[in-house]
Every structure is written in C-alpha cells, then in structure tokens.
Amino acid sequence: GENVEQHPSTLSVQEGDSAVIKCTYSDSASNYFPWYKQELGKRPQLIIDIRSNVGEKKDQRIAVTLNKTAKHFSLHITETQPEDSAVYFCALTGGGNKLTFGTGTQLKVEL
Amino acid sequence: NAGVTQTPKFQVLKTGQSMTLQCAQDMNHEYMSWYRQDPGMGLRLIHYSVGAGITDQGEVPNGYNVSRSTTEDFPLRLLSAAPSQTSVYFCASSYGGANTEAFFGQGTRLTVV
C-alpha cells in the first residue's frame, strides 16, 4: 500500500511565526492529499486538501503545496496563533480506496 | 444531523473477551472506515466499506471483523481481545470514497488488561 513519511514529529514556534510540515510519499498514483488537525482528546478534522492536478491551495492562513515530481507535499501555517496548537496529520489516497495517514506532527505555538 | 456516532466512548476488557464497537452515521455516506490510533503511529486503517454488503481489509485487520448490513451502520468486532489492541478507535465516513473529506466519530478508548 501507500507509504507516507511526515516530518517533523514535533514543532515549536513563537506566536506570529510560520510553521511548515512536510510529507513525502512513494506511490506516484497517489492523487488526493488532505491534512487533518486533531486537538487534544478530540477527533481529527479536515483543514485543507489538494488534488494531484493542482500545485498549491490556500485558505486564509493555511496553504498546502504539492510537488508531484519530488513526491512531497507540505502544510504551511502563517501568523500562527495559540489555537493552532494541535497534532497535524497528512494523508493520501492512491489507486485504491484507502486513506493512509502520516505519523503526525505535534505543533506548539508559544506566546 | 448527528454526523458519525461511536459507542462506547470508553471500554475496559479482559484478555480473551470479545466486544463490538458501534458506529453509525446519518449523512447517507457510502464509504465508512475504522482506524486505530496509537502514540507515534498516526491513524492506521483496520477495515473499510464502500457500501452496504461490501467490506475490505486495511493495513491492520488481524483480530478484527466488520460487516455492513446497512448504509448507516459499520460495527467493528474484536474477536478475542489482546493487550496489543489497547488503542483509541475512530470510525469515519465520507460521501465519495477515500478521495473525499472523512468525517470522524468521537473515538472509543479501549484498554485490554
């Protein structure tokens, strides 16, 4: 099945700084790349997604970029706020009907 | 709409016991799936279903059974619980398969002693 590596596993930034999380994958058939945010004790929730025919997508302070040639995609959060503190998961689907998740990044936004 | 509802929220089992985790959704989603979440390992797919009467294995299916007799319900059965199955279990559903937004239930925290 698909394999996805996520880095870093923990990330600490100062409020107002930017945060970048990167995921790499191996299956060139992968075509859907969502990002989920999970607050402590809560369920994962979709924050943004991108499909393989698009290179970048933005939604306010959040953006995702996709490099199909290099097989990596990244989440960018600008002007970070304390409420951005959470675990972020990248995920992807390929030719099958399975959604594969990365191992997660614990983001901490410090005041 | 209640979305995706899981029961119970917490459960403690003894090794060897069996139980069923319930999952129901009221969004008329065809695709449903079960994940387990362990520290440092993300969410791993156990089983999934693309519609009533159709199920398939995910990444970690051993020790678990599923069935999909209706569009709304997708129960997960632990046949003989083992300590290695201590985890948080999430059910999810989506409208258009794995390539669309997954809506998660609130999770079930299972401890096997």
pLDDT given at position B2: 85
Closest CA of chain A from B14, distance in Å: 24
In three-state secondary structure terms, B40 is coil
Query: What are the DSSP calls for A33-102, one per residue?
Result: EEEEEE-TTS--EEEEEEETT-SEEEETTEEEEEETTTTEEEEEE-S--GGG-EEEEEEEE-SSS-EEE-
Chain B CA closest to residue A9 = B40
pLDDT given at position A95: 62
Q: Which residues of A touch B44 (CB under 8 A)?
A: 101
Q: Cβ–Cβ of A98/B98 closer than 8 Å?
A: yes
Q: Is A106 in CB contact (< 8 Å) with chain B?
A: no
Q: Which residues of A touch B101 (CB under 8 A)?
A: 34, 46, 49
Report the residue of A21, A99, A106 to disrupt the B interface, i.e. the one with the largest count of B CBs within 10 Å.
A99
Per-residue pLDDT of A24-51, as tens digits, reads 999 888 899 999 999 999 999 999 999 9
Per-residue pLDDT of A44-82, as tens digits, reads 999 999 998 889 999 999 999 999 999 999 999 999 999
Closest CA of chain A from B13, distance in Å: 21
**Pairing status of strand A19-25 against strand A72-77:** antiparallel
pLDDT given at position A84: 98
Q: Cβ–Cβ of A49/B33 closer than 8 Å?
A: no
Buried b (16+ CB within 10 A) or exposed e, B1-20: eeebebeeeebebeeeeeee
Q: Average pLDDT over chain B, rounded to whole?
A: 96
Chain B CA closest to residue A47 = B101
Task: Tell me the C-alpha distance between A56 and B63, whole Å.
Answer: 40
